[in-house]
Amino acid sequence: MRRAVAIALLLALGACGKSEAPAPPPAKTAVAEAKYVGGEACRSCHAEIWSTFAKTGMGRSWYPMAGAPVIEDWTKHNSFTVPSTGLHYTMTRRDGKFWVKQSIADGKGGQTAIDERELVWAVGSANHSRQYLLVQDGKLFQAPVCWHTTDPVWDLCPGYEYNNFYFARDTGPQCVSCHNDPMKLVAGTHNQFEDPIPHGISCERCHGPGSAHVAKWDQGATPTGQPDPTIVDPRRLTPSLRMQVCFRCHLGDAKASERVSRYQAALEDWRPGTPITTAIIPYRYVEKTVHDFGLSGQADRMFLSRCFTESGGKMECLTCHNPHKTIFRDDRPADFFNAKCLGCHDASACKAPAAARQKTKPKDDCVSCHMRKGEPDDQRHVLYTDHFIRARIDQPEQARTRFDLELFPELPVDLPAPESAFYAGRAISLRAKMAPREVRPAMYPQAEAKLREAMSLGFAQADGPYFLGLALQDQGKHGEAAQQFAAAYAKNPADFDIAFAYGQSLLRANRVPEAEPVFTTLARDNPTAAGPLAELARIKTMSNDFAGALALFQKAIVLEPWNPALHANAANMLSALEHHPEAIAEAENAVRLDPEGARTWNAYAMLLGRAGRGADAEVAQRRARELSKAPGLRLSDVADKTIGR
């Protein structure tokens, strides 16, 4: 999945977006041609399972805030401040609705850049935490705050401590794929979905789309005791394929592995009963750490366990977990998981001292000694179970020393040599963006080498030079990157991302007459995209046509009012035209949308100075200086980047 990022005069925003071309259609069977009908269609025939599943974390994964159980503190301990920047959040409940207010210290004892939004959707069962979605112009965005149930406390959502997207992180197909039933995109958008939006994961997540199955039984079919070919029954799958139903969402450690989308495939189109590698190619660090584990890396860690590797395929996710029943229930036996262990192990074989075994809760509990509980490396304020089962769980923390990748050997995939090199290059490139800064300079050349290898072996699709161009761009090799973008554009000029990158490379080389028609075509063919309009506005500024640039920026703002870069650039044009009050108003919109952005505040200070407001300009300039020294990656500083699929 990928979408180009608009680079305007001052600032830039980027996020994942449109889907790739669809994969070739599967064989025409009842299951392959079935459509999704929603979990309610299953209820009448499977009432008991339906009712217990509705209480699981999956069954409560997505729902409207209106009418949801109120578990958060909205009145007393309902605010927090980011110490390094002074960014402040307050969560309140008014008239049956739920709100989050974002602001930042103004340097004079008050708050500024105040922005309040309604929390419309809840995502997460609240067994551990709950996150929230906003709706703007019909589009979904993730809120930056989460409620963490264990502590309990409000805090930034995972990852936001490093890169806060504030209210502009769009929630697209990749996000909803693991958090809700299938949602259909509105044509021409990447985070607006058709009504009705489902309320949580249902039966079809694991059993596949059910239209053929429902139609069969609605027409009076008679049970035969034989497998029903109109639905996927995971019990009848091989153990490997059965586990892969879980791998859709429980394979992939955010800090130790990478899931690369198959060329011309999308995870949301994948169906249970088929190998997960038809949708993604998973990679992981060769070096495994004993201490760190990710929130969604249950399968990654299970693969490291002797219980799994020596079970001969007998151990799987369902060995310990019944997806139809929540483990967070009052009637769960105290020895529930211990009994699972004793299904294969004899308690008399335990070598731990009797006194130590009696101290576990419950007593003589295998899990307490062999499965560590801790805070995942990509989530705070919660205790999760590390699914790496081992003899000792008290090993000291260890720093990772290697950052090379390998395919998951547990999920073999037979790829032609060109594709093998292509996916490896993509995996290294994507992982490098999340790796420690000091190791990235060594990883990007590896990605470049693999992508070049893919092309030398015959990988002929336009994605080859496109992603090679991105890897070169990450290394600052803009001239070479431009050549690759040109090659990709020659192969597929209709691809939005490729054309956008090509147009930007032309502008970087000051080849304006060639770049302008590229962006003009993109704007014409993609009327809901703000990026091409912003680039055309930038071209206008090069000829000092500030009025023309302003008109284009304003059109782009209508399409993406949440984008601070567009407001900042419109402010700059208004200032150039000496419309100072309007310029300052737009600059205030920019700092409201990007309150921790040093560059945003610096631009605001300059406009205040031009308007003769010297004292206010000094306050804003001081804020810019303070923010530039704050640790962490600020959104407005992610300039000249494209986030790839």
Token pair belonging to 59: 């069954």
pLDDT at 29: 60
What does the pLDDT look like over 457-513, one tens digit per residue? 999 999 999 999 999 999 999 999 999 999 999 999 999 999 999 999 999 999 999
Name the more confident of 3 and 247.
247
Instruction: Name the token pair of 234.
Output: 């995971």
pLDDT in tens, 337-385: 999 999 999 988 898 998 999 999 888 999 999 999 999 988 889 899 9
Q: Which residues contact 219 (CB under 8 A, 6 or more apart)?
A: none
Q: pLDDT at position 268, please?
A: 87
For residue 597, is pLDDT > 50?
Answer: yes
What's the CA gap between 640 and 261, in Å, rounded?
A: 23
DSSP secondary structure string, 25-72? Answer: PPP--HHHH-----THHHHTTSHHHHHHHTTSTTTTSEEESTTS---S
Query: Which pTM does this prediction carry?
Result: 0.91
Q: What percent of the chain has pLDDT over 90?
A: 83
Do residues 104 and 619 lie in contact, with contact meaning Cβ atoms separated by under 8 Å? no
Q: Give the alpha-carbon dihedral of 590, 593, 599, 602, to 10 degrees.
A: 50
Tell me: pLDDT of 589 over 80.
yes
User: Which range, of 18-32, 400-414, 496-510, 564-578, averages the lowest pLDDT?
Assistant: 18-32
Question: Mean pLDDT across the chain, nearest whole number?
Answer: 91
Q: Which residues pair with 94 in a beta bridge?
A: 97
Other CB atoms within 10 A of residue 398 CB: 12
What is the DSSP pairing of strand 257-261 with strand 79-81?
Answer: unpaired
d(CA 463, CA 211): 35
Decide: 372 and 386 in contact? Cβ < 8 Å: yes
pLDDT of residue 15 exceeding 70, the answer is no
Query: Two tokens at 257?
Result: 């592995």
User: 257-261 and 280-285 as β-strands: parallel, antiparallel, unpaired?
Assistant: antiparallel
CB count in 10 Å sphere of residue 314? 12
**Other CB atoms closer than 10 Å to residue 14's CB: what's the count?**
21
Q: Under a CB-based contact definition with an 8 Å cutoff, are residues 296 and 253 in contact?
A: yes
**Counts of helices then strands in the chain (DSSP H, E):** 24, 16
Measured between alpha carbons, how far is 404 from 286 in angstroms, rounded to an integer?
Answer: 6
Angle, CA of 163, 165 and 167, to the nearest 5°: 155
Q: Which residues of 427-448 are buried (b: 16+ CB within 10 A; e: fewer)?
A: bbbbbbeebeeeebeebbbbbb
Q: Which residues contact 38 (CB under 8 A, 6 or more apart)?
A: 181, 198, 202, 204
- Report in angstroms the alpha-carbon separations of 163 from 91, 159, 285, 481, 633: 21, 6, 23, 26, 5
Supply the angle between the helices 417-434 and 440-456 in degrees, to the nearest 10: 160
120 token code pair: 């419309």
Helix, coil or strand: residue 451: helix
